Structure 1
Amino acid sequence: MLRTATDADVGLILTMRNQQANRDVSLTTHEISADEHAAWWAKTSLDPGRRVLIYLRDGVPAGVVNFFDLDGTSGSWGFFLDAEGLAETGATLPAWIEVMREATEYAFDELGLELLTGEVLEHNTVVRQMNRRFRFTEGTPETRYAGGREIIVIPISLRKQDRRSKQGKS
């Protein structure tokens, strides 16, 4: 289940985002400070082109979904999971599938998007495979520099008509 993030979730979001597993697959790899995070939340929570959602698994917060650059017909997204908590219970893979399914349904059914875009780091082959499972297509890789390192970033996109059916029939 996805629910809108609130001010009460800010600390939880920061804790999950700063987990090493999440930093390893992000453009921003440094540990985010409380002040940096508070500034992000202050800006994000007022932005009408953004939605930050908490992913709940069995009623427990287990991830964060972030939609941004929403313009009514298209938008971008990203997410991260509570890697440490889910690993302890052996629920990482089912949670990952569930959050992707719920997030894409939210994008197309709740937000009314026709096109959902995002990015994945080239070295994150497991995420790239999961994206393909959900019918995202990859664009032309581009080189970026962040944190003193060269990174290959691959844009991804999914059109509403190309998504997997809710019933899993296609």
Structure 2
Amino acid sequence: MLRAATENDVGTIRRLRNQQANRDVSITSHEITADEHAAWWAKTSVDPTRRVLIYTRDGTTAGVVNFFDLDGTTGAWGFFLDADGLAERGETLPAWIEIMREATAYAFDELGLELLTGEVLEHNTVVRQMNRRFRFTEGTPETLSAGGREITVIPISLRKQDRRKGQST
């Protein structure tokens, strides 16, 4: 289930984002400080082109979905899961499929987008495979310098008419 994030979720969002597994596959890989996170939330929570959603599974917060650059027909997204908690419970794969299914449905059915975009790091082959299962297409990779490391970022996109809808992945 997805629901809008509130002020009460800010600490949980930071804790999940700072899990090593999530930092390893993010462009910004350093540990997010409390002040940095508070500044992000202060800006994000009032930005009409953004939505931050909490993904819950069996009543427990299990991930965060970020939509940004929303303009009515297009938008970008990203998400991260509670990698540590889901791994402990043996629920990573089903949660991953569920959050992607719910987030893409939200993008197209709730936000009314025609095109959903995002980015994935080249070395994140597991996510790239899952993106393909959900019919995202990859664009031209770009090499960037971020946080003292060189990374290759691949843009992804999914058009509304190309999505998997009501199908098992």
TM-score normalised by L of structure 2: 0.99
Q: Give the unaligned 5+ runs of structure 2.
A: none
Q: Distance in 2 between matches of 1:92 and 1:169?
A: 17
The separation in 1 between residues aligned to 2:168 and 2:39, in whole angstroms, is 43
Cα root mean square deviation, aligned: 1.0
Q: Supply the distance in 2 between the matched residues of 1:31 and 1:16 (Cα, whole angstroms).
A: 11
Query: Which residue of structure 1 aligns with residue 101 of structure 2?
Result: 101
* Distance in 2 between residues matched to 1:169 and 1:33, nearest whole Å: 39
Q: Secondary structure at the match of 1:8?
A: helix
SS of structure 2 residue aligned to 1:70: coil
CA offset at residue 169 of structure 1?
7.2
> Which residue number corresponds to residue 44 of structure 2?
44
Q: TM-score, normalised by structure 1?
A: 0.98
User: What letter corresponds to residue 94 of structure 2 in structure 1?
Assistant: P
Write the letter of the residue equivalent to 2:57: R
Taking the aligned partners of 1:49 and 1:2, their CA distance within structure 2 comes to 18
CA distance in 1, matches of 2:33, 2:61: 21
Q: Deviations over 1:121-164 (max 9, x none)?
A: 00000000000000000000001110011110000000000001
Whether 1:60 aligns to 2:60 is yes
Q: Distance in 1 between matches of 2:32 and 2:143?
A: 23
Secondary structure of the structure 2 residue equivalent to 1:55:
strand
Quote the residue 2:75 is aligned against: 75
Write out per-residue CA displacement over residues 109-129 of structure 1, whole angstroms, 9 at most, x where no aligned residue: 000000000000000000000
Instruction: Please list every run of 5 or more consecutive structure 1 residues that lacks an aligned counterpart in the other structure.
Output: none
Corresponding residue number in structure 2 for 1:120? 120
Residues of 2 paired with 1:61 and 1:143: CA distance? 33
- Give identity over the alignment, percent: 82
Q: Distance in 1 between matches of 2:38 and 2:48?
A: 18
Structure 1 runs of 4+ aligned residues shifted over 4 Å read none
* AA in 1 matched with 2:156: I
State the distance in 1 between where 2:5 and 2:44 align: 11
Give the Å deviation of 1:59.
1.3
By how many angstroms is 1:165 displaced? Answer: 1.8
Aligned positions of 1:1-170 closer than 5 A: 1-166=1-166, 168=167
Q: Distance in 1 between matches of 2:156 and 2:30?
A: 24
Q: For residue 154 of structure 2, what is the amino acid of its counterpart?
A: I
